[in-house]
Structure 1
Amino acid sequence: MTAELLVDARNATGECPVWHVAEQALYWVDIPAKRLHRWTPAGTLDSWSAPEMLACIAAREGGGWLAGLESGLFALQTEASGQLRGERLVALDHAQPAMRCNDGRCDRQGRFLVGTMVQDMAQGATAGRLYSHTAGEGARLLLDDLIVPNGLALSPDGRTLYLSDSHPSRQLIWAFDYDPDTGTPGNRRLFVDMNAHPGRPDGAAVDVDGCYWICGNDAGLIHRFTPDGRLDRSLAVPVKKPAMCAFGGRNLDTLFVTSIRPGGDLADQPLAGGLFALDPGVQGLPEPTFAG
């Protein structure tokens, strides 16, 4: 199975692909470049600049985006000027300086779940947290003692929450029982120890069968795990650092993959930082929108 290059984007850190069903378009971010990108199957490509590093996005029911940046959660709108305009809705009380949001997405009820991390991964600082945000409210702390929270996804019924920690010292994926009424995770348990598989666990998605797809960063692979944590298959991309995957396309049967373009010699992976498409052989689920 061959990965198709859609955009030679050369993103420093391409993350958070989201298929916008109404627009039939894929949005994603380049975190350090502070950019939001939009691609359509017709081949159009648009970009907008954010006021801070932009890590994760969710479409809002009323239009525009809810986004996790450095200082908090923002309501943003794209403008013809090429800028993202809006306001900060929630200021996050980071545990230490030089932190930012990382992975984030909505649950089936429209709450926004978002993780935070210290920007310098080399510190290995356990200052990362997982928050939940509901419209009109602040950020509710769900979990702490995280280094690089990642891999957020929910089962099709919304009652199982998945979360990974990408840091090399951890490389674990956990599953939680998730209460859809209160938005509270519980019964934390090890789902997959990625130390036993190629690549560090990065961004993720869930398909209609309830299987969990996660990027194997540093290994150039996208792994599919069954709900009982068994490795079902692995799909290859022509770059070492796939960052996050998302289902999209007219029938939600295309797996879009963003990637990272590291520094140094890239002779063996000239397409690093690109946007790719795979045929996973299964459909995904529409991405929930933020209720607010």
Structure 2
Amino acid sequence: MSAPAYEVAVRAEATLGEGPTWDAATGRLLWLDILGSRVHTYDPATGRRTVRSTEQHVGAVKPRAGGGLVLNLRDGVGLLDADGTFRWLYHEPVPGRRANDAAVAPDGALWAGTMRYDEAPGGGTLSRLTGDGTAEVVLDDVAVSNGTGWSPDGRLMYYIDSPTRRVDVFSYADGRVDDRRPFTRIEEGAGFPDGLTVDADGCVWVALWDGGAVRRYTPDGRLDRVITLPTPRVTACAFGGPDLTDLYVTTARVGLTAPHPTAGSLLVVPGAGKGLPQPAFQG
């Protein structure tokens, strides 16, 4: 159950740090501050960092197959070209609603989540978007759409609606999901499941909001590792580095009256496991 100690990769004071994603094409880690409307990059080889402001709250950022980024924004999904040009791929403003976590499926489609600012039950969605801007709402009764990921063979999709305290699993094929069932439940007092990632062994790593930890569950849903972190609001995790063995973890300061010095920083657990290469968005 023990795990390697964490390090501070980027000391920051992100209000709501989220969405770590390894961009293999550029050799850098993407992450963001949702409420700070900022997209960050970090190159672990050189230590170089960049920060780009967005005009809206940004829930997720992922690399695109042809270069540039796709952004899950408050009012829809946008494309940012390598030269900085921005355009909407899908634009659907809904008062009181914002983007949250997103993930790229094995077929290159973006599964983008939303939630209401007041976290009202049923106010959020999970949608599948293709590169031509076609959007299909897959789940329309969500409170806080969060972590999404796929098994190594692409036959299972894991998903978190945080207030349920569950990680659910679907059967997945050809961009479709069915047979939703619980994969694991987070007990009272341990926090709420937030972001997730799946490793090369098919284990599911879950960040715990107000739980101060990342947990790893085996493919049969058994808890087998806990990484304890010093700040309670742990938001998401992803493997990165050239060999995908370092676990990057984002954290948040929002709502903390006396935040730990690492709250809002990007943390890393070197040699935590072995991640899966992540597909880029085909758009």
TM-score, normalised via structure 2 length: 0.94
Once the two structures are TM-superposed, the CA of residue 78 in structure 1 deviates from its matched residue by 5.7
Equivalent in 4, 11, 18 of residue 7 of structure 2: 4
Contact 1:220 1:240 in 2 (8 A): yes
Once the two structures are TM-superposed, the CA of residue 196 in structure 1 deviates from its matched residue by 5.3
Partner of 1:135: 131
What is the aligned residue count? 279
Distance 1:263 1:172 in 2: 23
Secondary structure at the residue paired with 1:129?
A: strand
Please give the per-residue CA displacement for 1:10-69, whole angstroms capped at 9, x wherever unaligned.
Answer: 100111111111221111110111111011111111101112111111211111011110
Contact 1:208 1:283 in 2 (8 A): yes
Partner of 1:290: 281
Partner of 2:77: 73
Once the two structures are TM-superposed, the CA of residue 246 in structure 1 deviates from its matched residue by 0.5
Cα distance change on mapping 1:262 and 1:129 into 2, 3 Å? same
Q: Quote the sequence identity (%).
A: 37
RMSD: 1.5
Mapping for residues 1-292 of structure 1, pairs under 5 Å? 1-41=4-44, 42-77=46-81, 85-92=85-92, 94=94, 97-121=95-119, 124-167=120-163, 170-179=164-173, 181=174, 183-195=175-187, 198-266=190-258, 269-279=260-270, 281-292=272-283
Distance 2:203 2:96 in 1: 35
Once the two structures are TM-superposed, the CA of residue 77 in structure 1 deviates from its matched residue by 3.3
Once the two structures are TM-superposed, the CA of residue 263 in structure 1 deviates from its matched residue by 3.8
Distance 1:188 1:265 in 2: 38
Distance 1:68 1:210 in 2: 26
One-letter amino acid of the counterpart of residue 5, structure 2:
T
Please give the per-residue CA displacement for 1:225-260, whole angstroms capped at 9, x wherever unaligned.
Answer: 111111111101211111000000111000000110
Contact 2:16 2:264 in 1 (8 A): yes
Cα distance change on mapping 1:264 and 1:230 into 2, 3 Å? closer
Once the two structures are TM-superposed, the CA of residue 157 in structure 1 deviates from its matched residue by 1.2
Q: Which runs of 4+ in 1 moved over 6 A?
A: none
Distance 1:219 1:53 in 2: 24
Unaligned 5+ segments in structure 2 are none
Secondary structure at the residue paired with 1:195?
A: coil
One-letter amino acid of the counterpart of residue 88, structure 2:
R
Distance 2:100 2:82 in 1: 21
Once the two structures are TM-superposed, the CA of residue 199 in structure 1 deviates from its matched residue by 1.7
Once the two structures are TM-superposed, the CA of residue 85 in structure 1 deviates from its matched residue by 3.8
Distance 1:165 1:14 in 2: 18
Please give the per-residue CA displacement for 1:70-92, whole angstroms capped at 9, x wherever unaligned.
Answer: 1100001366xxxx540111023
Contact 2:74 2:93 in 1 (8 A): no
Secondary structure at the residue paired with 1:109?
A: coil
Please give the per-residue CA displacement for 1:102-134, whole angstroms capped at 9, x wherever unaligned.
Answer: 11011011000011100123xx33111110001
Cα distance change on mapping 1:271 and 1:74 into 2, 3 Å? same
Cα distance change on mapping 1:159 and 1:211 into 2, 3 Å? same
Secondary structure at the residue paired with 1:38?
A: strand
Contact 1:48 1:78 in 2 (8 A): no
